[in-house]
Amino acid sequence: MPTLIVTINGPFAYVNDHPAVGFLTLMAPMCSQHKAGISTIETGEQYVLSRCNGRNHPANHVGCDSHEYGLRIGTGSVNSTDWIGEFVSCPTPTDPWDARDWRFWLHVPKPNVVLSVNPGEADIIYPDPASTATAVRGNYAIGARLIYGNWDGNPIPLLYNGKPVQHNGHDVVFSFKNYGGANGLLEVEYTGPVRDDNDHEDAVDCFESLMRSLGLSWSIYIPSIVSKGNQSIDSGKLNDCKAAIARVGM
């Protein structure tokens, strides 16, 4: 069977067996001016997720909607996913999930393996009721790589609220050419416009937005970039966001 590799860049919350058993949902927090897109390496195989909630909206979800995308990946049933690497682990919120609290959701079938991507050194800061804080340092994933070992090799349609997404009168479908191997590569990006933010203020703000959406008051400290001369030794794909991703309820 061919293998599909989906690389995720961006500070998502990952929720297993949601909305149903056998699915993994990526929830995008309300990070300022962040936009998302999905692409392969083929011509015309890029799509920006234009239907999403804005951060600046009136109270009580006025102007917000449930923006739920899905990638219909043809794969065999996966009972248990192996998570490899260090992830920020978060409890499931006590209140029910509400997609209107998030920029958007993206549903995919559960992969065989989730690998940590670009782990970065950071302190996760957990305030307690006495206003003191406990910080736990680790090398936390800032992205993930989903590996589907039983992919059927077929094109992958994009859905919006359960229906095919259309662009220029055609369904949005991600196709893959055979270059002599049996693998497919797909990328999901959720990033903002901030560049060269050596103090990582954008990443801290985005992480705190992610935590608020999960009902938590956690924060993050990311050590400053170490430079050699005038050249940085840290690369973030020309985008600063080093906010840690969240593995929820697992």
Question: Rounded distance, CA 93 to CA 95, Å?
Answer: 5
Question: Rounded distance, CA 86 to CA 245, Å?
Answer: 10
User: Residue 238: its pLDDT value, please?
Assistant: 44
User: Residue 180: its pLDDT value, please?
Assistant: 63
> What does the DSSP 8-state code read for residue 238?
T
Q: pLDDT of 93-141, one tens digit each?
A: 988 999 999 999 999 999 999 999 988 899 999 986 655 668 899 999 9
Q: Which residue in the block uniquely carries the two structure tokens 């080093």?
A: 242
Instruction: With residue 109 as reference, give the H or E element that holds it.
Output: strand 104-109
Question: Residues 202, 192: contact at Cβ < 8 Å?
Answer: yes
Average per-residue pLDDT in the chain? Answer: 88
User: Residue 98: its pLDDT value, please?
Assistant: 94
Q: pLDDT of 15-34, one tens digit each?
A: 999 999 999 999 999 998 89
Q: pLDDT of 194-221, one tens digit each?
A: 766 777 888 999 999 999 999 999 999 9
Q: Is the pLDDT of residue 234 over 60?
A: no
Tokens of 190: 């959720």
Closest residue by Cα to residue 244 from 217, 216, 223, 222: 222
231 pLDDT band, cuts 50/70/90, is low
